[in-house]
Amino acid sequence: MQTDLRQNNIVTLIGKIVSDYTFSHEMYGECFYTFKIETSRLSETTDILPITISERLIDKNLFKIGALIEINGQIRSYNNIVDGKNHLVLTVFVKDINFNLDLNKNPNQVSLNGYVCKPPVYRKTPFGREIADVLLAVNRSYNKSDYIPCIIWGRNAKFANNLEVGNNIKISGRMQSRNYQKKLDNGDILEKTAYEISVSKLEVLENNKELEN
């Protein structure tokens, strides 16, 4: 059964615009811009997430820092080469934008259907919490794929540790930002931000196994 490419990568975000839009690139005569929004978690912390949008969807009368906005789109990945090394970069590519909000909706929803493309990495935190890192390849049009890091918790993590490269899985969760420090060769500390999907529900499609936190 062939996957509907329109349905295998769905993201809905509701949040506050926290940066102005800046030019990113041009493709086939159409300009694209990037900006960031802040979304809330149940824990009252927030995530600052990167957004890519076409010039066609920007209403300059409504697009202002501090404005509340709903974004529907897809997670996209691309490689950014820095000092000869590939770095995976994630962004939310906007399909639709809305300033008339339903604030009762979940402000951060992600649904992905893709394929495990690296062996999962299973570990435990110093406090004993189980975590598994899974890199998911999600197909899109024109024979392209997006490579999306997912972090899986608890009993789902132990289950995910048994996944194999090539397994077709479907996940639901939220997109989150995570700040970390990287030590450079000269000893300096660089503050960086990683983006990943925090998984709440996992389903292996081949044998219809499903787990939910």
pLDDT bracket for residue 4 (50, 70, 90):
low
The pLDDT assigned to 180 comes to: 80
The pLDDT assigned to 207 comes to: 57
Residue ranges of domains in the chain: 9-108, 111-212
Q: Which CATH class is domain 111-212?
A: mainly beta
Q: Determine the 3-state secondary structure of 108 from DSSP.
A: strand
Place of tokens 């490269």: 165
Tell me whether the CATH fold assigned to 9-108 matches the one assigned to 111-212. Answer: yes
Q: What is the pLDDT of residues 100-151, one digit of tens each?
A: 887 788 999 999 999 999 999 999 988 889 999 999 999 998 889 999 999 9
pLDDT bracket for residue 79 (50, 70, 90):
confident
The pLDDT assigned to 185 comes to: 76
Reported as type and span, the H/E element at residue 127 is none
Distances in whole angstroms, Cα of residue 54 to Cα of each of 34, 41, 58, 73, 179: 9, 27, 7, 12, 28
Q: What is the pLDDT of residues 21-76, one digit of tens each?
A: 999 999 999 999 999 999 998 878 899 999 999 999 999 899 999 999 999 999 99
Percent above pLDDT 70 for the chain? 92
The pLDDT assigned to 1 comes to: 45
pLDDT bracket for residue 208 (50, 70, 90):
low
Q: What is the pLDDT of residues 82-106, one digit of tens each?
A: 566 777 889 999 999 999 887 788 9
Q: Which CATH class is domain 9-108?
A: mainly beta
